[in-house]
Amino acid sequence: MAAGRRPAVHSVRIGLLVALLAWALAIQAQAPSSHAFDVPPWFSETLLEFPEEAKDAAREGKRLMIYFGQDGCPYCRQLMQTSFTQRAIVEKTRRYFVAIALDIWGDREVQWFDGRRMSEKELARSLKVQYTPTLMFVDEKGTSVARLNGYYPPHRFTAALDYAAGLAGKGTRFEEYMQTAVKESASPKLHDAPFFRKLPVQLKGARPVALLFETPYCSGCDEMHGEGFKRPEVRKLLERFDVYRLSLDDRRDAMGTWAGALRVAYTPTLVFFDGGEEVFRVEAYLRPFHLASALEYVASGAYRKEPSFQRFIQARAERMRARGQSVELWE
């Protein structure tokens, strides 16, 4: 009889083992990750002591790529699902950089290059990170060689990688290199709009000033005019600004161009002034919801009380939902 019961006992033990394994996996799945957003598995998990990280990277002939993101960010998702799924971009990034991810709302301790220790969110605030994703490319001395404030589509991101790795653009500033590094299939002419004011630029006036930088053959410029500027909400907000459209070679004075003086590295870029002083800028790819948010952030004067554009966006979205309005971040 005892021999006849062994298979049953064996089956019970296997069942308990499977149950325990499933329980352990469930617990592991529920454990919080070190950052609240998905990044590729080849990103480095480190102690976030950046002076040492930079030295370690330099020993491998690499630089640091520091990524600032947040959970629920559609532009971060776009970066991960477009650029970081393309083999050429992934291979180039891994060949020349050590990638480290930070959460702009995170609490992990970071040691920055100046020796200060702080949380991820405190570092993001001290570096004035206003957009996600923001990527900083840093050399072995802790010097930022390039910074992308927002999402760059793959062809522009590739050009930025080349510059940050030292493969292209040597002897030029990042914005100078980017002005000529990328060729796009787009309109060969600058777009006109009825709300553009005549040059020369007057930075001081009764209303805030928006300088819009564009170039021919700029697909992002085509999209902004064809989609963003046609949204009723955006058009209404633009009425609260004096808007000037500038190409990259429009002269500022005898010493240089507006784009050169403001270090414009991306088109279209919007630089906002209030009282003659720059107060905010948009220098990466934006969908209409975030374009409208940027315009309202400046036009309402909210930038004076809320230094974090991300918190302003969150509060604005919550107000819209409370009024029964649909909020589509990528529409």
Mean pLDDT of the 200-229 span: 95
Work out whether the CA dihedral 88, 91, 94, 97 comes out positive or negative.
Answer: negative
Structure tokens at 266: 């991306």
Residue intervals in the chain for CATH 3.40.30.10: 50-172, 209-322
Q: 209-322: what fold? A: Glutaredoxin (3.40.30)
Start-to-end Cα distance in the chain:
70
Which pLDDT belongs to residue 24? 41
Q: Distance between alpha carbon 279 and the CA centroid of its chain, in Å?
A: 18
Q: How confident is the model at residue 149 (pLDDT cuts 50, 70, 90)?
A: very high
Does 3.40.605.10 match the CATH number of domain 50-172? Answer: no
Residue-averaged pLDDT of the chain: 89
Peptide bond into 268 cis (omega under 30): yes
Which pLDDT belongs to residue 37? 57
Q: How confident is the model at residue 20 (pLDDT cuts 50, 70, 90)?
A: very low
* Listed range (58-72, 204-218, 252-266, 302-316) with the worst mean pLDDT: 252-266
Cα separation values, 104 from 236, 269, 289, Å: 31, 23, 21
Which pLDDT belongs to residue 327? 85
CA distance 324 to 321: 5
Q: Which helix (H) or strand (E) holds 298?
A: helix 288-299
